Amino acid sequence: MMLSLFFLSIIVFGYLIYVLIKPEKF
What tens digit of pLDDT does each residue of 2-26 get? 899 999 999 999 999 998 998 676 5
Phi and psi at residue 17, to the nearest 5°? -65, -45
pTM assigned to the model: 0.54
Amino acid letter, residue 5: L
CB atoms near residue 9 (< 10 Å): 10
Supply the DSSP string of the chain, one letter for each residue: -HHHHHHHHHHHHHHHHHHHHSTT--
First to last CA, the chain: 33
pLDDT of residue 2: 87
Split at pLDDT 50, 70, 90, the class of 1 is confident
